[in-house]
Structure 1
Amino acid sequence: MAAAVEADLCFPQFNSSYRKITRSPAVSMLIYITLSSIAVLTVVLNLLVIISIFHFKKLHTPTNLLLLSLAVSDFLVGLLMVFQIILIDGCWFLCDLMCSLYFLLDYGITSASVGTMVLISIDRYVAICDPLHYSTKVTQSRAKVCVLLCWLSSAVFQGLVLRDNVRHPGRYNSCYGECIVVVEYVAGIVDLLLSFIGPVSIIVLGRAILYDCSLLLSEQILMLAGSFNLTTLKSERKALRTVSVVITVFLICICPYYCVTLTGGDAVLSASSVAFVMCLFYFNSCLNPLIYALFYPWFRKSIKLIITLEILKPGSCEANVV
């Protein structure tokens, strides 16, 4: 009996060791294979998006810079999945500081993803509802500044939310080999408002306005303007549909994450207890490049040039992939 109890402990040599999550070997292997597959696909596919937008000059547009920011966050999510794979049985084998940093990175990347979605919604709003002034209002330099501010503010804000956990790593662990952080009630409420409720409200409201604007105003404006044509209108509407799919999938995948991690009083977050919602969030990061491949011809062309190593040839950055 004692041997069976020790087998259930993460560190049998310590009496205060955290107890492993009990699963059958087949289920554990299935989870391991699933997470590993999602991680590899997420990293590879988003790396293709990053290389495509970064390398080909034709893709250096404000909208694609925002997609690049989203791809970077998704790429980092894929790398973070390594820690979730380590936590399959609930045991944390790294130091307490790494546990705190893991949650800090997770929170920061998530906030940056949500912020990028807000920027994408604003970009589409201006493109559809005010197309005549889009090129002057939305420039590459402004897009870069917005992306930079989004990432910096996410890092600073989440650093403040988890500051006690980073300063005193492991202070809330009750057992050896456990990985939890505690978000204070007030900090959790502020995080919920600024990182989820507020941005999601803007995104949902923006989508409603975009569709009304597209149906009622855009066609008339573009038909009357000499510098625009019906092809431009169709292109903008196609981009709107693609972004709408990305945003819808994002909301479906991220809502359970926030519902689990930011509810109640002092939210005690166990890395093993949020495995399902984390996997759902990770899966969204894998889906985004597949959505691009389905709706964006430039991404399919870029992938072909990357896989065939055509991008290594001189002047390949000038290729017309649009």
Structure 2
Amino acid sequence: MSHVAHSTNSKPAAEPGVKITTSATIFLLAGLALLVVAPLFFYPIFLMKLLCFALFACAFNLLLGYTGLLSFGHATFFGGAAYFTAHAAKVWGWTPELAVLLGVVGAALLGLVMGFVAIRRQGIYFAMITLALSQMFFFFCLQAGFTQGEDGIQQVPRGYLLGFIDLSVSTNMYYFVLGVFVIGLVIIWRFINSPFGMILKSIRENEARATSLGYSVAHYKLGAFVMSAALAGLAGGVKSLVFQFATLTDVAWQMSGEVILMTLLGGIGTLIGPIFGAGLVVTLQNYLATSDFPVTIITGVVFMVCVLLFRRGIIGEFYASRVGRWLGFEHRH
């Protein structure tokens, strides 16, 4: 009976995915083409920062938008991977791809431990547990020897990708970051459109019904948590190579707040929304950093306006608009 119920429910859920993919593919390919030529018009470091935080926001959205779990501790995975990658590259002399891989594995293990504890609770209790565990990891990084305390790990060498591509050249580093970003985005897209992703959406919509159909909700939540942590770690590891340092800022609770802000601004439960939100926040931070305007106040005002006028997020509202529906988009959150 549960198998029949699952089969009849999964088919309608897959149809909007096909509808969205056709239109979204066009926009994504156009966006990718713009990113390929973007270094000709914009500062590469700014673009690399944008891509790293866009991947971070997409990883967070995998947990919030598609599973319905609000985590206040994702800075643990982002910053933890940054520390692991920086230490491996600088102290152990690992190549950049292996150092980043270590960061991803380390973030996934942290996600496994944190998720195992946190998924036992729901709602605000889940969020508070992730925040508490994240603060514990912050103080660990403050005291641990390999993190070098408040100084952080500085002057991290970018090294040679695959042994022969010099990442100290900004153009090479940019296309490496772009490649990682695209790979991460493809993984997320495949994940949310897989049977596993469909089950996560059913858990988000009605956890009790998913349980009654025989699914182990806790296992699926933990799987989503670990996947989100690993992808956040991928963003953090690459970020440490881009800026050549890893500091306590990467694991602070403010970093978790930033990624929540990015995701909400763009639109939770959408693939493109977190990318747009990250771009908006990073752009504001970059261009207001040298001005007399307080960045946090301006960002807060933008967030307030978006919450009041765009309840689904900017991209979410676009999907729900006539133009978005005409183009074949459908906001599924």
TM-score by length of 1: 0.31
* Greater length-normalized contact order (CA 8 Å, ≥ 6 residues apart): 2
